[in-house]
Amino acid sequence: MSTTQHSEGFFRRIVRRLTSSNAELVSEQLAQDAVAAGCQQIQNARVRERVHLRGTVQAITLSPEFDKGGLDVELDDGTGRITLVWMGRRLIPGIDVGRRIDVWGTLTISEGRRVIFNPAYQLGP
């Protein structure tokens, strides 16, 4: 790579950082982390297939939709969001807003939203 090409890349990165919102930069970093870990991106995950996703918990709600209720967790990997549902659970220690987690499960559609029911998970730092 020539010096001119290197400096153009440098200036492009500087301009991008100055003109992008913090949310865009965070989303980009989340997406890069997921790919680096060998995970699929939410935007590319296919329904009815087993997936391995990594992202950050954006929201936690208790859902009364099922007989015993459930814990709904919204996961964001920078390319999209998905809902994780643990049926019959009211709390999972360690799963908090802002926490990074890896999840494994089968992606489904429920009530028009992309969901993984009772996923296996591993807490990140």
- Domain-by-domain residue ranges, the chain? 3-123
At 61 the pLDDT is 93
Q: What's the burial of 12, exposed, middle or buried (CB within 10 Å: 0-12/13-18/19+)?
A: exposed
At 88 the pLDDT is 87
Amino acid (1-letter code) at residue 88: G
- Residues near 71 by Cβ (< 8 Å), separated by ≥ 6? 60, 61, 62, 63, 85, 86, 89, 90, 91, 92, 95
Specify the range with the lowest mean pLDDT, choosing from 34-38, 66-70, 73-77, 87-91. 66-70
End-to-end CA distance of the chain: 36
Give dist(CA 74, CA 59) in Å, integer: 5
- The model carries a pTM of 0.75
At 18 the pLDDT is 64
Helix then strand count (H, E) for the chain reads 2, 6
| pLDDT, mean of residues 82-91 | 92
Q: What is the mean pLDDT of the chain?
A: 83
pLDDT band at 56 (very low <50, low <70, confident <90, very high): very high
Identify the architecture of domain 3-123 in CATH: Beta Barrel (2.40)
- Residues near 101 by Cβ (< 8 Å), separated by ≥ 6? 54, 55, 56, 57, 75, 95, 121, 122, 123, 124
Structure tokens at 91: 């709390």
- pLDDT surpassing 90 at residue 97: yes
